[in-house]
Amino acid sequence: MGVLFAVVVLGQRQSLPPGRVGVLVAAFGGCVLLGSFLAPLVSRVLSVRAVLLLELWTWLGCGLFLIWPNVYALTAGALPTALAIPSTNTVVHGYRMAMTPDRLLGRVESIWRTISLLIVPLGPLVAGVLLDAVPARAAIGLFAAAALVLVVWGSLSRSIRAALSLDELGAHG
């Protein structure tokens, strides 16, 4: 959400007409929708680890803005992530539900939903504060640096490397 907020702010700063900014945001939404249709296929073809790493690696595309500081570059760099997000959500939600005992499923899902709803506004808040406090390149650079840290962590994580497939997890449950 922080990157989408940055697209809106940077679009305004670069004097794009509101309709064009809307097209950029809609392109992101369209890729999320397309990714939703692709998610069942992706989650069947790729391992849990591969799906998680796919999204983490696509976030590095936002670094394109550092090379070409234009809202179009930021949007283009974020579109692969928009395609990957639904697959990650599918795998993560399925994994959490498969791991959770039936008697706790309602509580776990309720807690997850509450935490996720509390976190969502932090992206635009952080993006807004950064875009107000530092140049746009530095703000997006911090997002890209955070993405790089997550890519390294995710790529080296033993628990992600050893993650069972959803089928294997269901057989153990």
Q: Map 57-68 to HEC letters.
A: HHHHHHHHHHHC
pTM, rounded to two decimals: 0.83
DSSP assignments along 100-164, one per residue: S-GGGHHHHHHHHHHHHHHHTTHHHHHHHHHHHHS-HHHHHHHHHHHHHHHHHHHHH-HHHHTPP
Overall domain count for the chain: 1
Q: What is the mean pLDDT of the chain?
A: 89
- CATH number of the domain enclosing 102: 1.20.1250.20
Residue 49: which domain range? 2-172
Give Cα separations from 136 to 5, 21, 24, 141, 146 (angstroms). Answer: 12, 17, 18, 8, 15
Q: What is the mean pLDDT of each run of 10 residues along the chain (173 residues)?
A: 90 94 96 96 89 91 91 94 93 83 88 89 90 92 91 89 72 52
Tokens describing residue 131: 């875009």
The helix-helix angle for 2-13 and 136-156 (nearest 10°) equals 160
pLDDT for res 138 = 92
